[in-house]
Amino acid sequence: MGVTSKIAPSMLSSDFANLASEAHRMLNYGADWLHMDIMEDGLLTFLIMLPLQDGHFVGNLTIGAPVIESLRKHTKAYLDCHLMVTNPLDYVEPFGKAGASGFTFHIETSKDNWKELIENIKSHGMRPGVAIKPGTSVEEVYPLVEAETPVEMVLVMTVEPGFGGQKFMPETVYDTLLIFWLISPSFSNQVRILRKKYPALDIEVDGGLGPSTIDMAALAGANCIVAGSSVFGAPEPAQVISLLRNSVEKAQLTY
């Protein structure tokens, strides 16, 4: 059983002051999901300032459950929530009540409680997903994909989390240079490794995706595509959305 293409514009690049009409605009242009980036500066500090463990560096701060709740009143669309927060467990109930569809947490913050977290997400009516940062070994998510109550999607960050408009990191999808493979086989090439191991798994890529980078990600095996600046910044967003979809569907014929 194959996977279907899903194109998810990242609403981080939208005009937040007109979120509902921006959402309708993207859905009318052919979007399947709406990608919602939930950032709390703690995580950026946790991941970047690990040695200091101080946890209070200004990173980025975006939206919370109240915004999801408001948006849900205007659309039935699938809200693909990407939680870049230190304690995702604290957010499950509010996001479930707000009407979130997908709840994707970072494995870097949930190594000890992911089982409880997945069950909690499902019991609040949401679809569980797990995300990995560029430097995280893909092996860390195998137990979550193979669990009794598994995650239903793996999000591979193709940029460091925190901001839109960053440059795509090709080594996260496939080995650009042999050296990457020799140094750290499972710390790069994450998308290709996952697709080979889990042919029916939804694999999402997030960060720097657009017309010049989509083929690499699609050929490596990604089927869920998040794109912010390349869609919202385009004169014809609908054209970019269909280009991203065509690339995924063409690539699926090769694997």
Query: Catalytic site residues?
Result: 37, 206
The item of Zn ion, ligand DX5, none sharing an interface with residue 227, based on CB under 5 to 8 Å by kind, is: ligand DX5
Closest of 177, 173, 213 to residue 193, by C-alpha: 173
- Distance, in Å, from the CA atom of 119 to the CA atom of 200, rounded to the nearest integer, reads 21
H-state helical runs in the chain? 19-28, 41-48, 65-72, 89-98, 114-123, 142-145, 178-183, 190-197, 214-220, 229-232, 237-251
237 in contact with ligand DX5 (CB under 6 A): no
**Bridge partners, residue 102, by sequence:** 80, 127
Query: Would you say 28 and 77 are in contact if contact means Cβ atoms under 8 Å apart?
Result: no
Which of the choices ligand DX5, Zn ion, none does residue 207 contact, using the CB cut-off of 5 to 8 A by kind? ligand DX5
For residue 228, state whether it binds ligand DX5 (rule: CB under 6 A): yes
Residues facing residue 83 across a β-bridge? 38, 105
| Residue 13 engages ligand DX5 in binding (rule: CB under 6 A) | yes
Q: How far is the CB of 12 from ligand DX5 (least distance, A)?
A: 4
Of residues 102 and 221, the one with the C-beta less far from Zn ion: 102
Binding piece for ligand DX5, criterion CB under 6 A, among 42-50, 120-128, 137-145, 160-168: 160-168
Residues at the site binding Zn ion, with contacts judged by CB under 5 A: 37, 82, 206
Q: Which positions touch ligand DX5 (CB under 6 A)?
A: 10, 12-13, 35, 37, 82, 159, 161-166, 206-209, 226-230
